[in-house]
Amino acid sequence: MPDSTAITGPAPQPALGPAGLPAPPSRWRDNAVLVAVGVLGLAWYHRVDVISGFSAISGDTGDTRLVTFLLEHGWRALNGTAPIASPPMFHPAAGTFGYADAFVLHGLVFWPLRALGVDALTAMQGALIAWNGLTYASGAWLLRRELRLGVIASAAGAALFAYNSAKFNQFVHIQLQPLALLPVLVAVVLRLGRATPVLDRRVAFRRLATLALLLNLQLLSGVYVAWFFCFWCLLFALVLAAMAPTRAWLLQRARAWRRPLAGAGCVFGIGLVPLLLLYVPVLRETGWRSYGDAQGMIPQWFSPLLMGDTNLLWGWVEGALPGLYAMNFWWEHRIGLGAVVTLGWLVLAVAAGRALLQEMAVLQEMAPQAGPHPSTAAPTLPPRLVGIALVLSVSLFYLLGMKYFGRSPWWFAFHTVPGIKGIRAVARYVVVLALPISIGLALALDGLLARAGRLPAHRRRWAQFGLVGLAALALVEQAGTRQGYDKQRELARLDRLAARLPAGCDAFYITSHPASKLSNTEVQIDAMFVAQRTGVPTLNGYSGQDPKGWKLYFIREPAYLSLVNTWVQERHVAGLVCRLDDPD
């Protein structure tokens, strides 16, 4: 196991360079390396945007436009021109904003850009690029400033966290992109871990309340990210509680910080109110998801091998797996992080298991010597055990969230853990686990570089060159390509479509030519944008949920017009309902 003293040491120590000597953490060359790696990674991650001179936006015309529509609705609600709970879709169903995430973090960039007069798609593009850059910056800050790792390990770890292949393959699910709050949450926990048991209760409350508010903000931005992070934290705490020394530390802190913990719990509960107001009505209407809804999206044995068919090094793997594309939700199984990361983590997991057995053996030997009167000194949090818990908790998450011979331990979690029944796309947990994986591998790399710095001169450079090359290869393995679309052309197309809506309509539905190349999802979103532009609500819609009884998704189904009439009659849609033909 790498030395993880920096995780919970009593106070941060100066960073050590490769030779083991103190290295000033603010050297301009180190900062230049961190910035350069971040900018290069961001430029590749958004290469469609960069190469086009930002006239094109990364992603498809499905979920990217859906999120743009929702953020634009939020902007109009802030201006008092639209009801926040009910975007003009699925008319006349109410509360449909709660069918998707609230995307608050995206809005913190999107809405100011809209206030400056930037069009909606460009504002969405700016929000994506800004938050992906901040995700790297936040990870680099955690590794370099809080954990005091060297610049090479910090840059490599932050780039792996922000620009990894699993996150890249989930780009269209934009709620999974802004992860910048997660390193901040970890940093606050680290500072709590370093604090003495007699930490002032007001200081403890402020830190715990900060955790609560940041978690509330993440929940309002992306429920999946927040829930997966909390579940990993739960597993991390359970592993700590399973070891006697760390269990004693946890119990001592729980007793010492009873009031701050209770106060922070109240803060979290109050901060949860907007989320409950948004989603409880939806749950009452649609109910929780069943295990069958999630079963097809639980990773299988081959899932960690899949890095997307456009991956530069490993794109061929998908074609080598017979029957992959015939499997339901096959695209959700692209969770691979590359050979270097996977093998490196397996080595860490084996090392953590061995280290745990050694610690248990030592504790058993020491037990008879403790005598009948154990020490009354405050328990400490051994850094070695924290490192073990980090690695084992991530590994345990993988083991629970995998399918074996058609069955998965996730079934037990699904029926016991609160909130899990709102999680359908199980495989997306890798996007969040990339943070602890990056921390563990960055710690290992930093420790190995420090050891290499103590080798004789003729071996030192080769060892350092090999380690840096291995880290670079791990990042290159993440690289893939994607498609994009021209923003102005898309906006002009939507304006032309909106102009085709007949005058005097109180509501409308959309149709599409049988030979159209647009998917059902794209046509539905076209209708939503027309509704937003004209102020006339549409019976159509697209989101993470559908209203009860709504069956209008398949535009080209022969019975589509009959289903429209049924919806109009069952929901008592008043006024003139018009038909809009999508010519594309």
Residue 391: inside a domain, yes or no? Answer: yes
419-437 pLDDT per residue, tens: 999 999 999 999 999 999 9
> Looking at the structure, do residues 446 and 494 belong to the same domain, yes or no?
no
Residue 131: closest CA among 48, 42, 69: 42
Residue 481: inside a domain, yes or no? Answer: no
Residue 413: inside a domain, yes or no? Answer: yes
Q: Is the model more confident about 362 or about 19?
A: 362
The yes-or-no verdict on residue 231 having pLDDT over 70 is yes
Q: What does pLDDT average to over the chain?
A: 91
CA distance 101 to 348: 35
Residue 416 backbone dihedrals phi, psi, to 5 degrees: -130, -30
CA distance 74 to 102: 9
> Looking at the structure, do residues 38 and 180 belong to the same domain, yes or no?
yes
> Looking at the structure, do residues 419 and 513 belong to the same domain, yes or no?
no
Helices 223-241 and 383-400: crossing angle in degrees, nearest 10, is 130
Q: State percent of the chain over pLDDT 70.
A: 92
Q: Would you place residue 193 in the very low, low, confident or very high pLDDT band (cuts 50, 70, 90)?
A: confident
**Which region among 187-196, 234-243, 478-487, 515-524 has the lowest average model confidence (pLDDT)?**
187-196
70-103 pLDDT per residue, tens: 999 999 999 999 999 999 999 999 999 999 999 9
Quick check: helix, strand or coil at residue 174?
Answer: helix
> Looking at the structure, do residues 167 and 255 belong to the same domain, yes or no?
yes
Residue 322: inside a domain, yes or no? Answer: yes
CA distance 394 to 437: 7
> Looking at the structure, do residues 508 and 433 belong to the same domain, yes or no?
no
The yes-or-no verdict on residue 354 having pLDDT over 60 is yes
Are 313 and 413 within 8 A, CB to CB? Answer: no
> Looking at the structure, do residues 537 and 427 belong to the same domain, yes or no?
no
- Quick count: other Cβ atoms within 10 Å of Cβ 368? 7
Residue 96: inside a domain, yes or no? Answer: no
> Looking at the structure, do residues 445 and 498 belong to the same domain, yes or no?
no
473-520 pLDDT per residue, tens: 999 999 999 889 999 999 999 999 999 999 999 999 999 988 888 999
Tokens standing for residue 259: 């009031």
CA distance 131 to 162: 10
Q: Is the model more confident about 310 or about 13?
A: 310
> Looking at the structure, do residues 357 and 492 belong to the same domain, yes or no?
no
Where among 430, 454, 478 does a domain terminate? Answer: 454
> Looking at the structure, do residues 430 and 496 belong to the same domain, yes or no?
no
Which contiguous run of DSSP H or E holds residue 581? strand 577-582
CA distance 105 to 82: 20
> Looking at the structure, do residues 441 and 537 belong to the same domain, yes or no?
no
pLDDT of residue 363: 65
Where among 454, 470, 495 does a domain terminate? Answer: 454
Where among 397, 431, 454 does a domain terminate? Answer: 454
The yes-or-no verdict on residue 253 having pLDDT over 50 is yes
Please give the single-letter amino acid code of residue 201.
R
Residue 474: inside a domain, yes or no? Answer: no
> Looking at the structure, do residues 533 and 405 belong to the same domain, yes or no?
no
pLDDT of residue 366: 62
Are 498 and 529 within 8 A, CB to CB? Answer: yes
Q: Report the number of distinct structural domains present in the chain.
A: 2
> Looking at the structure, do residues 441 and 493 belong to the same domain, yes or no?
no
The answer for residues whose C-beta is within 8 angstroms of residue 12's C-beta and 6 or more apart is 6, 146, 148, 194
Q: Would you call the peptide bond into 178 cis, given omega within 30 degrees of 0 as the criterion?
A: no
Residue 254: inside a domain, yes or no? Answer: yes
The model's pTM is 0.92
Mean pLDDT calculated for residue range 12-39: 67
Q: Could you list the residue range(s) of the whole structural domain that residue 539 is in?
A: 486-582
Q: Would you place residue 201 in the very low, low, confident or very high pLDDT band (cuts 50, 70, 90)?
A: confident
Residue 313: inside a domain, yes or no? Answer: yes
pLDDT of residue 377: 56
State how far Cα 246 lies from the chain centre. Answer: 28
